[in-house]
Structure 1
């Protein structure tokens, strides 16, 4: 039997071939069990049947609650009291159903379930509710009838992101404005989308979309999986945002949190029908020890129906272009990968791996690409599970990309622990390009993780308190000069060597100062650090715009050159004592002098006979530099001896500078 390409490409996986094949077989068997000869899309239709729906002559609401003994619909329409008219009928397999006349419900009504089970009862927000809202005074959540007369009419229903390498702008709706409050879908559509478009990114990743009770959770403690968060606006306003983005040529993806769910019972799925085990594992396996949340049971067909329907729902109802799956490491391992170093292949192929979660990823990725072949599927995974972002046909689990989570950790560790003059160029290149050859990664210098309170962004680590006093152009400061130079170089090195895609968190491209801290008791419920100060990047008297101007130029080059579609990144040269690094991608040569004090004249980079032009460099005055590089020149390689000897490209390399050169047509003289 021929082994899949995943194993053919990595001989170290051969001892685990039987485990890899058995996992695939188990996933296929689960797919056959679920689909019964149909497609995964056909199976993932729960949202079209469960939940509240308008019919030709009224309404119908359905739910799955196998432990329930009675369910009443309560709300504005019956003064929140149990009435027989609003009692659901048990139909089959733990399912419940209620038909109502047209005048028994109306758009905007608030509602919930009063659910009874052996030995108890309680109020519950329906698990399949597609609109949930919170009372500003009581802070109580309720489901909301969402059926406006004027629904959003899609202007760009056929948008397709194509196959362009993703340049991702990670965003949060609520903190996307300057005021100390929660901002809205409409404000993001009007004010932030044009910024993202102008900045050169092609994909918007939006955090915290499914409803979550605690704003400060960054959306990672989800309560209502089918309801977009109402704190930012209405479902139709979210649709208008996505539609507008598509009109600008921007794809939109969301964080998908299927790794766990908030424990809340009134707002969430916790003990929904009186049992913990309806959606989640019972006992210790069902609780995440670090996140204080419940863990889904991926071996239960009804749970798979819920989660896979959730995937289809966001792709079709809101026309999102894909997902970043959160907490994949936690899902893959029974111990959630906590405290594990993952130093051996045996760490990935043992009883600690949750094979049911592995099957779920197979099903989820197959479904996503069945619905939209060009949709993005990105795994936030830190253990390095082989094959995670390899195609299913080749023996992998089918994610398009995995997050290169080691890259930002490397940069932070380097800045914190190693003096500039001791940075190792070979190590930098290795850390930026180290990945499995059959997988693509999303590379990034920093995301929202590095900006959270308790941590520091790259710019804040580099400049620290001087950001408060010396960011005006008329205030010379060597610490600020260093920080700005390295900020540009770190981003250029990370983006130009990215393994298929690149990500930036909102505002970090211009060195947004300070940190992210959502309103909480510890900060007296302040919004001061839960916003973005765009005005400082727009202010021509401050240095911030130099960083965003550089980032925009870099993004435009990457897109025009289709740089990240070129898979190979070739190491050309590095010199540890001099701190020079050069690598090549296609026709583009990227050269760095990380040396903090020494500039070099006529520095030789060994290449084949060729000629180059400088496209741009970090030292340009428009980016806050000193214009030390002559961009008008054409640079030819020169032989060290005869014509057949090693050629060198001799360059002037100012201290703390990176440059991008393009190879020009060259006719070799024989």
Structure 2
């Protein structure tokens, strides 16, 4: 077999070349099979234009795929929720059912469902292709809703090209983005939160919980209606307006899409849509996810591939999303969903335990997304480290643009929980934030929503804990708060400054939002107290949260100001375990970290490129809640050393306070003088 670029770029993959080529061939062959009639994946993935409810020149037409059904009726408020002959579907070929209605038989905002009959049973169902689903506030019952406004929202910004150099993502959840103890809306987010994100300097948002889900507390990961934006946040037009305004601000909009599993619900979801167990999902022991209490898609079925690929294109075309973060990719890749496996080496990725059908689907999804929009962004949430995940499919990869660096937040939490400050090792830290494949772009992050959920703690809350309730007033001196804020800044800076693709922050964590996230549930008496963001904390001039927000904005601004920052090679200059000093450079920027909790260093020598350096960022600055121990007005000149003359390296002698970091910028190369600088 031929050797693909994935193997050529990594000789250690040579023993697995046949498996990699086999997977590549599966994708090529499946694409050929699916497109033999349509000609392209994009034309194949148009199910949303055929299935579901549509208004045309003759009236209404609704189509659904239900091969096990024996009869289907459309029921709703227009039929008093009864099965009437006029609303009975007709069976077509290949398990497709169709109903045509006159224009005056359905109206905007009408509620409807399917009354599905199958051999030996019957039940109400939300149409699989429904694009609008709402929940009754009194009965809590879900129904599909006709959405056909007289004046639908029209996008003002037709074309938008994401800025990805670097990609700076603000992960967010619409419902919890407001301060009041309730569910927030698309409109509130558009008006109140988007300006904050733009001001903070992020150039992308990654929105969670868009696809309709019955249980709010699932964080949007137990999806029931894949084509319907969650109505608890507002209307489809509200979501379009939000995306349009984000684009106007230069902000890319990424959707957190869930194709790794589905909610088990049968009335609201696809659990037993046509009465069978194996229509969308595996019908055997693989049907139920052992850890998530959900159902697993059968990626070997062309109809399922059609449904999911059409879902990708739908969100791109109908809502102008700029791409997707695919949730639960590890679970998709392995028959055992990656559970209980350590992934210690390459054999673990090629031992026969991989779901080749899922790998084929993900490869096709990436090809489709980039065919529909060449500028689209795809990100994989994947923890096993499978090689080639973020390598183009033509090179033998799965085709994602980025992969989440999931080991980094795990490392930070483990370090904070288990190690004394004196035991933080610079070399280990540097390894963890730069440990990645050279041929794949990653998204670095110190923490996401995962680390903020109840049962865990955010970095700031783990560092400061209940002292946040009493000692976050400016002027209040508290050692625990000072330590926590210092480490919060350092952790973020070393995580962001070492990116090779992008950086992610969860909503509010940039300013040290206190406490955890806990959605309303029976265990907390259905309280919204912890399912919100207290923006007033960062807005108050008398609180220290502003310091952390100011630093985050300055840090983001620094890397945005350097062209192709994420592509600049990282050169480690120094790490010393006893001193706890780490230094590395990226072209003209020199990053210096002192992780030591007590030792400040005077005239600490850093061997680097000769020249004149000035302070570009300093975590100890008073504007960031620091002690102001560094004089940022000083210009630092390198001092020559005959031993390093050939290497064109000279010494910088610096004052580096304990538990601080600074970024120096090389302003110009100079001919160092042999004098006492």
Give TM-score scaled by structure 2 length.
Answer: 0.98
- Contact map agreement 2:610 2:670 (CA 8 A) in 1: no
The aligned residue for residue 417 of structure 1 is 418
SS across alignment from 2:16? helix
In the TM superposition, residue 162 of structure 1 has moved relative to its aligned partner by 4.4
Q: Indicate whether 1:22 and 2:22 are aligned.
A: yes
Shift of 1:391: 1.5
How far apart, CA to CA, are the structure 1 residues paired with 2:166 and 2:610? Answer: 30
The secondary structure found in structure 2 opposite 1:261 is coil
> 1:564 offset after TM fit, Å?
3.7
Partner of 2:108: 107
Does structure 2 retain, via aligned residues, the 8 Å contact 1:131–1:145? yes
| Maintained 8 Å contact 2:500/2:567 | no
Q: 1:503-542 to 2 correspondence within 5 Å?
A: 503-542=504-543
> Aligned to 2:107, what secondary structure does the other structure show?
coil
Alignment partner, residue 369 of structure 2: 368
Question: Which of 650, 660, 665 is the matching residue for 2:668?
Answer: 665
Aligned to 2:650: 647
Determine the C-alpha separation between the residues in 1 that align with 2:64 and 2:163.
37
SS in 2 for 1:157: coil
Aligned with 2:505: secondary structure? strand
**C-alpha contact 2:204 2:253 (8 A) present in aligned 1:** yes
- The residue that corresponds to 1:268 in the other structure is 269
> What SS class does the counterpart of residue 93 from structure 2 fall into?
coil
Give me the whole-angstrom Cα distance separating, in 2, the residues matched to 1:300 and 1:206: 29
Deviation at 1:611, TM superposition (A): 2.4
Structure 1 residues 466-518: Cα deviation after superposition (integer angstroms, max 9, x where no partner): 01111111321011000011100100010011231000000000000000000
Q: Is the 8 A contact 1:66 1:94 kept in 2?
A: yes
**Whole-Å Cα distance in 1 between the matches of residues 351 and 579 of structure 2?**
45
Aligned to 1:41: 42
User: Structure 1 pair 282/564, CA: closer, same or farther in 2 (3 Å)?
Assistant: farther
C-alpha separation in 1, matches of 2:529 and 2:503: 29
8 Å CA contact retained: 1:222, 1:262: yes
Which residues of structure 1 form unaligned runs of 5+? none
Structure 1 counterpart SS, 2:129 = coil
CA contact (8 A) 2:2 2:21 kept: no
Distance 2:409 2:662 in 1: 22
1:641 Cα deviation after fit: 4.2
Shift of 1:650: 1.1
- Runs of 4+ in structure 1 off by over 6 angstroms are none
Q: Is the contact between residue 609 and residue 650 of structure 2 (CA under 8 Å) also seen in structure 1? A: yes
1:630 is paired with a residue of what secondary structure?
A: coil
Secondary structure of 2:285 counterpart: helix
Distance 1:501 1:559 in 2: 11
Q: CA deviation digits over 1:203-250, x for unaligned, max 9?
A: 000000000000000000000000000000000000000000001000
Give the structure 2 partner of residue 144 of structure 1.
145
Equivalent in the alignment of 1:116: 117
> Deviation of residue 158 (structure 1)?
1.0
User: Does the Cα contact within 8 Å between 1:441 and 1:498 map onto a contact in 2?
Assistant: yes
Deviation at 1:660, TM superposition (A): 0.9
Secondary structure in 1 matching 2:561 = helix
1:592 corresponds in structure 2 to 593
- TM-fit CA distance, 1:586: 2.1
CA apart distance, 1:610: 2.5
Q: Which residue of 2 aligns with 1:325?
A: 326
* Alignment correspondent of 2:131: 130
Query: For each residue in 1:571-621, what CA deviation from the matched residue of structure 2 results, as whole angstroms up to 9, or x when unmatched?
Result: 111111011000111211110111111111111111132321111200111
1: CA distance between counterparts of 2:69 and 2:26?
32
SS in 2 for 1:293: coil
TM-score scaled by structure 1? Answer: 0.99
Larger mean Cα displacement after TM superposition, 153-162 or 67-76: 153-162
Who is 1:656 aligned against? 659
- Equivalent residue for 1:493? 494
Q: CA deviation at 1:395?
A: 1.5
1:664 Cα deviation from its structure 2 partner: 1.8
- The aligned residue for residue 431 of structure 2 is 430
Aligned runs of 1:330-369 on 2, under 5 Å? 330-369=331-370
Give the corresponding residue for 2:10.
10
* Mapping 1:151-550, distance limit 5 Å: 151-550=152-551
The answer to whether the 8 Å contact 2:520/2:526 transfers is: yes
Equivalent positions of 1:594-609 (< 5 A) are: 594-609=595-610
For the residue of structure 2 that corresponds to 1:498, the secondary structure is coil
The 1:303/1:592 distance shift into structure 2, 3 A limit, reads same
Q: Is the contact between residue 420 and residue 595 of structure 1 (CA under 8 Å) also seen in structure 2?
A: yes
Aligned residue pair count: 670
- Helix, strand or coil: the match of 2:177? coil
**What SS does the aligned partner of 2:286 have?**
helix
Whether the 8 Å CA contact 2:451–2:457 is kept in 1: the answer is yes
Distance 2:254 2:467 in 1: 36
Partner residue, 1:554:
555
Provide the rounded CA distance (Å) in 2 between the counterparts of 1:329 and 1:163: 25
Are the equivalent residues in 1 in contact too, given 2:165–2:564 (CA < 8 A)?
no
- In structure 2, distance between residues paired with 1:668 and 1:369: 50
Deviation at 1:349, TM superposition (A): 0.5
Please give the alpha-carbon distance, in whole angstroms, between the structure 2 residues aligned to 1:642 and 1:132: 72
Q: Distance in 1 between matches of 2:574 and 2:455?
A: 37
Correspondence for 1:628: 629
Contact 1:74 1:81 in 2 (8 A): yes
Check whether the contact 1:566–1:586 (CA below 8 A) recurs between aligned residues. no
Superimposed CA distance per residue, residues 362-403 of structure 1 (whole angstroms, 9 cap, x where no aligned partner): 100000100111111000000000000111222211100000
Q: Please give the per-residue CA displacement for 1:178-227, whole angstroms capped at 9, x wherever unaligned.
A: 00000000000000000000000000000000000000000000000000
1:162–1:374 Cα contact (<8 Å) kept: no
Query: Is contact 1:163-1:374 (8 Å) kept?
Result: no
RMSD: 1.2
Contact 2:639/2:672 (<8 A) preserved = no
What displacement does 1:637 show?
1.6
**Aligned-residue offset at 1:633:** 1.9
* Secondary structure, aligned partner of 1:286: coil
- Alignment of 1:31 with 2:22, yes or no, is no
